[in-house]
Amino acid sequence: MNAQGERWTAEQVLALAPDAASRTAGGKLAAPGPWSGAGAHGRGVWGLCAGSGSKPYQTVVDLDGPGYRCSCPSRKFPCKHALGLLLLWAGGGGVPEVEGPPEWAGQWLSERRERAERAASTAVAGAADGAAGAAGGRKEPGGVADPEAARRRAERRTQRIAAGATELEQRLADLLREGLAGADHAGYASWDETAARMVDAQAPGLEARVRELGAIPSSGPGWPARLLEECALLHLLNQGFLRLDRLPEALATTTRSRVGLTTTTAELLSSDTAVRDRWLVLGQQDSADGKLTTRRIWLRGQDTGRMALLLSFGAAGHSPELALPVGIVLDADLTYYPAGRPLRAALGTRRPDPPPSPVPSPAAPPVPPGSDIGSALAAYGDALREDPWLDAWPVVLAGVTPIPGGEEGWQLADARTGSALPVDPRCMGRTDLWQLTAISGGRPVTVFGECGHRGFAPITTWDPAPVPLQSPSGTGSTPYGGRP
């Protein structure tokens, strides 16, 4: 159930599926026929699903997380049985509320929650040691980290990154001197070699931007202008890192993060900067590069109004562990990573939903409040002022109507102000744009997405329940196949 004591919607359940095939297979198991012994109690849902063997599959879901366990041999998480069980539960008819789970389900639920409690109780205690280890500090026999060793390792890495930035500056100068026109004939090999040099320099942020540069010449019409823009931004990042001591502290922090000097989660959780709020899950999207699956989950605090982005990673072919259905509300602590305009955060303590009130309370508004186009552009502009390398900023648009377009592209129009916002060209060809148009039916709708210099990329709309908008492959768009 969500924070209002309501069961999830089918759309929220299907948003958890690792791929389109799992969504289809799970939908086929969303009927009472194959299930027996199904029930729900508190934050647990379970059932026995008939399979091809003599024994039914034991399927149990912990709604906190959520987490899944099934005795089937599938390596997908959640598997089709977990999806089918959740869809049956979401429908309200096939999974009754009972006094408690059977032993096989109750044991797993109890063990999982005990592990979560132990992890939460030891997170702060172990954070300092984890941070020191990540920084490269050795521990003395008494278990105390050696701060001097950590400082020396940090200095050596900074020197390597500075050397890499200097080498990259020379590469950009050579490119501009020879002319951009020949970049599409040079091939990707030279960029791949430069990216490998950034790996050696321990600068993953620079590596990602170099690989993006190599993909631009094959990105379609107008690529020389895009290549020049990205070269300028990379030059700005290189120069910023080489002159960190001259930058304001907020911009210096952002620059360090952009080159790849990020703060560890252990360091964040050991700080006293957590923000507690009731966080509404606005959207979730996955992107894959063949080696890694990256899941992005956007939230907005109901009291603070702050946006937050959670990142979770999984190996190729495996869904990341963290999955939060769109539309639920979490009472949780988030700690933001340092930045001039903080957005990415780490999920800390999550608190259980309050017990249902004996007196029914008014249902919370199903559609989140949003802004007009002018306010959305201003929000991106304010964020861009703090982070010059920012591609887009998450916003909720209210009262906009999708307008299909031809060569000019799609738009989101606001009849109240007579303004329109172009849809990001990288979204062209996505069938969910027509899904958004069908939901709108020519009427204004509320849409969550990312607003940037290329336009607006829709992620979720409401009908009035949240409807995740997915690309045909089930993954989100990324610039030129580059960084997520």
Contacts of residue 370, Cβ cutoff 8 Å, sequence gap at least 6: 395, 396, 397, 398, 399, 446, 447, 448
pLDDT the model gives residue 419: 93
pLDDT the model gives residue 401: 96
pLDDT in tens, the chain (484 residues): 544 456 787 877 887 887 778 888 888 898 888 999 999 988 899 999 998 888 999 999 998 878 889 999 888 888 999 999 999 998 877 888 888 899 999 999 988 888 877 766 555 444 444 444 444 444 444 444 577 887 888 899 999 999 999 999 999 999 999 888 878 777 778 888 999 999 999 999 999 999 999 889 888 888 999 999 999 999 999 999 999 999 999 999 999 999 998 877 777 777 778 999 999 999 998 887 777 788 899 999 999 999 999 998 876 666 777 888 898 899 999 999 988 899 999 998 888 766 554 544 445 456 899 999 999 999 999 999 999 999 999 999 999 999 998 767 899 999 899 999 999 988 887 888 999 999 999 999 999 999 999 999 999 999 888 999 865 334 344 443 334 3
Residue 54 phi/psi, 5-degree rounding, is -75, -30
CA-CA-CA-CA torsion sign (102, 104, 110, 113): negative
pLDDT the model gives residue 430: 80
How would you label 261-299 residue by residue, b for 16+ Cβ within 10 Å and e otherwise?
bbbbbbbbbbeeebbebbbbbbbbbbbbeeeebbbbbbb
CA distances from 2 to 16, 167, 280, 356 (A): 15, 52, 10, 11
Three-state DSSP state, 171: helix
Residue whose C-alpha is closest to residue 352's, from 329, 376, 375, 335: 329
pLDDT the model gives residue 1: 53
Q: How far apart are CA 160 and CA 155, in angstroms?
A: 9
The β-bridge partners of 70 are 59
Contacts of residue 104, Cβ cutoff 8 Å, sequence gap at least 6: 58, 60
In the structure encoding, which two tokens stand for residue 83, read together? 């999806």
pLDDT the model gives residue 137: 47
Distance of CA 293 to the CA centre of its chain: 11
Cβ 65 vs Cβ 74: under 8 Å: no
Q: How far apart are CA 426 and CA 480, in angstroms?
A: 8
Q: Tokens 């070699």: give the residue.
A: 193
Cβ 424 vs Cβ 457: under 8 Å: yes
Contacts of residue 68, Cβ cutoff 8 Å, sequence gap at least 6: 59, 60, 61, 62, 77, 78, 79, 82
CB atoms within 10 A of CB 119: 10
Cβ 17 vs Cβ 286: under 8 Å: no
pLDDT the model gives residue 265: 75
